[in-house]
Amino acid sequence: MPDHGRAPEQLIRIHLKHGRIKESIDTLERWLVGRSFDDTRTRHSSDLLMREIGRVLWNRHHFGEFEERLIQLETTHSYWPEAWRRGMACYLGGDLSGAAEHVEAVIREYPGWLIASGLITAIRGRMSPSSTTRQDLLASMSAVKEGPISGFYLGSGRSPNDDEATISLLMPTRGRPGGAAALIESAYSTAHRPGLVEIVLYLDSDDPTRHAYEARLRELSQKFSEGRIALLVGPRIALSREWNLTARASAGTILMLANDDLVFASLGWDASLRSSVSNVPDDIYCAWFNEGRDNHDYGDFPIFSRRMVEALGYFTPEFLLFQCNDQWIWDVAARLGRLRYLKNSTVEHQRKWLDGTDNMPKPEYERRLEHSRSDSFLF
């Protein structure tokens, strides 16, 4: 297929959209030639592209030679630092101590690189006898002190006589009252029936912007009095647990994993969602919106039913600290053949941190890494 002058990143995504995995890996390999790993933007782009290729491999169960190609690319290609390539080779060869040594060297040089921190956590998990099974990981959650949870509720919410499903948007947040407010305002402004939409937030009790959150939420509850806004305030804990706490506090039958960097951009998104899932006979499904790109294969913000939560026993699996919650939920539904993509309803993922960039700030990175070290969870 001729590229007609397209940017390599765009060409890779076109290949993936049409299932041309070999061509996407070939294009990625050519694109990396001569690129510098020290360039933050290039590193971020390559991480995203590797992740997207990996998702397609996982979602479509195309392993074998393609998976080996990706592994070989990270193990041998000169784009990645030598310590990373040696660490990958040790990891794949079963030398976990050697892998940890090399990957820690990479983290010292590139402290904000999430893939490295994710791998070092996985290595520690494999080296720890107490973290070898899912049951052990779940049991270890009880050792983490949750602390008191307080909260307040605003708005009237749904009528008890209404038969239509309430949608709950579940949003842990910190340090971004403006971002949280933007999600709330956009969700209610574009909803067909705002009275059947509730938004449940979790906020760390030590958040220095807590008073700003409370003021904005009270203001928004007056503006959108039909809706229901709930704020839970508690200790700083793993993000997966925060999502579970918001799920338990919610009243909806349709639950969405949300972030404070989302904006609802389509009128009637709630009606489209209800219509899309209304014909699922046993109410077991995973839906997702168009996130500003035609992401028909996968969504970062899964939506599923309370019945599915009850069947699984969780909203998000707490043995995953932060990353891959979305992939886990999506894969459960994919294996059941219960996926619903809402192409014509868009939520825009802003993907910005407090400093206005796409890069995770070092303090936040260190907080998450410290959680993963102390609890032996996957990052």
| CATH (domain of 200) | 3.90.550.10
Q: Tens digits of per-residue pLDDT, 265-319? A: 899 999 999 999 988 888 888 898 988 765 566 677 889 899 888 887 878 876 5
Q: Tens digits of per-residue pLDDT, 199-255? A: 999 998 888 999 999 899 989 988 888 888 888 888 887 788 888 888 888 889 999
**pLDDT at residue 373 above 50?**
no
Same domain flag for 335 and 302: yes
- What mean pLDDT do residues 42-67 have? 68
Boundaries of domain holding 317: 150-349
Q: Is residue 209 one of the residues assigned to a domain?
A: yes
Of 252, 208, 209, 249, nearest to 231 by C-alpha is 249
pTM: 0.59
- Sheet with 286-290: strands ordered across: 150-154, 228-234, 197-204, 167-173, 254-257, 303-305, 286-290, 339-349, 262-264
Same domain flag for 27 and 107: yes
Q: Is residue 358 one of the residues assigned to a domain?
A: no
Tell me, what amino acid is at 100? A
Distance CA 111, CA 242 (A): 25
Same domain flag for 207 and 95: no
Q: Is residue 326 one of the residues assigned to a domain?
A: yes
Which among 37-51, 109-123, 187-201 has the top mean pLDDT?
187-201
| Mean model confidence pLDDT for the chain | 75
- Bridge partners (DSSP) of residue 257 are 170
Same domain flag for 95 and 190: no
Rg for the chain (alpha carbons), in Å?
Answer: 21
The position carrying tokens 């906020």 is: 203
Same domain flag for 107 and 188: no
Same domain flag for 68 and 184: no
What pLDDT is stored for residue 10 in this prediction?
Answer: 83
Q: Is residue 279 one of the residues assigned to a domain?
A: yes
- Burial class of residue 266 (count of CB atoms within 10 Å of its CB; 0-12, 13-18, 19+): middle
Same domain flag for 17 and 118: yes
Structure tokens at 139: 């049991």
What pLDDT is stored for residue 374 in this prediction?
Answer: 37
Return the DSSP state at 378. B
Same domain flag for 13 and 157: no
What pLDDT is stored for residue 181 in this prediction?
Answer: 92
The domain tally of the chain equals: 2
| Residue 240 · residue 317 · CB < 8 Å | yes
What pLDDT is stored for residue 185 in this prediction?
Answer: 92
Distance CA 55, CA 206 (A): 36
Distance CA 293, CA 16 (A): 13
Q: Is residue 321 one of the residues assigned to a domain?
A: yes
Q: Tens digits of per-residue pLDDT, 314-369? A: 788 765 555 566 777 777 777 777 888 888 888 888 754 444 444 445 555 455 44
Q: Domain boundary residue among 100, 129, 158?
A: 129
Q: Is residue 138 one of the residues assigned to a domain?
A: no
